[in-house]
Amino acid sequence: MAGPIQLRFVQSATDESQLPSSPAEVTFVGRSNVGKSSVINALSGRKKLAHVSNTPGRTRLLNLFEVDAGKRTGSNQLGPTLVDLPGYGYAAAPGQMRGDWQRMIEGYLLERERLEMIVVLVDGAVGPTKLDTQMLGWLRGNDLPHTVVATKHDKVKSSLLDKRRNEVAERCDLERGDVVWVSAVKGTGIDRLRSLVRSWLS
């Protein structure tokens, strides 16, 4: 199935246990400002979705969307889902809150059944931060399936792109071809990411 991924907002939650069970799920995680809302909007071909998830408070919750709901017929059961996790490393958050976020995110990632893929967004314009590499180390330590997506491809000068691609892969301890590069602004790599998301959910 080609084209935009339809996303229907289902529910927000503070805890994994509050979410309905899903037959297959992909989740998006990354530090605040990495471009996560922009990528999710680009996948869905809509601008309004960010609006939904940026409703005050929602950015601190687990936000669950049903994928391509309108394209399935004859079933009341929840189809495959996409979860937008709160951005990590928000410097302005008080220590206690950071702890709560961490528990929410880690609890979700460890407990969620049928979590097929964790998409870890890193900022392609600045390269992976220490928090990003810590997150990758934690995912590997827990044997959780993950894919690195580098955002803001359009912000990297074309003369630097080759070098930056090597740097990002190296910092993430991956082969260069394993990192998916996207630009939400220009649409670069978005079709490829849509296909990957659909393949993980099928």
User: Which parts of this chain interact with ligand GDP (CB under 6 A)?
Assistant: 30, 32-38, 87, 151-152, 154-155, 183-185
Are the C-beta atoms of 151 and 35 separated by less than 8 Å? yes
- The least CB distance from residue 73 to ligand GDP, in Å, is 32
Reported as half-sphere exposure (CB side, CA atoms, 13 A), residue 51 has a value of 5
- The least CB distance from residue 113 to ligand GDP, in Å, is 26
User: Residue 30 or residue 128: which is nearer to ligand GDP going by CB?
Assistant: 30
- The least CB distance from residue 62 to ligand GDP, in Å, is 14
Are the C-beta atoms of 181 and 150 separated by less than 8 Å? yes
- The least CB distance from residue 22 to ligand GDP, in Å, is 22
For the chain, report the end-to-end CA distance as a whole number of angstroms. Answer: 11
Instruction: Using alpha carbons, select from 90, 12, 16 the residue that is nearest to residue 56.
Output: 12
User: Residue 49 or residue 67: which is nearer to ligand GDP going by CB?
Assistant: 49
E-strand ranges in 57-178 read: 62-67, 81-84, 115-123, 146-151
User: Residue 76 or residue 158: which is nearer to ligand GDP going by CB?
Assistant: 158
Distance CA 70, CA 50 (A): 20
- The least CB distance from residue 31 to ligand GDP, in Å, is 7
Distance CA 51, CA 63 (A): 13
User: Residue 79 or residue 154: which is nearer to ligand GDP going by CB?
Assistant: 154
User: Residue 57 or residue 70: which is nearer to ligand GDP going by CB?
Assistant: 57
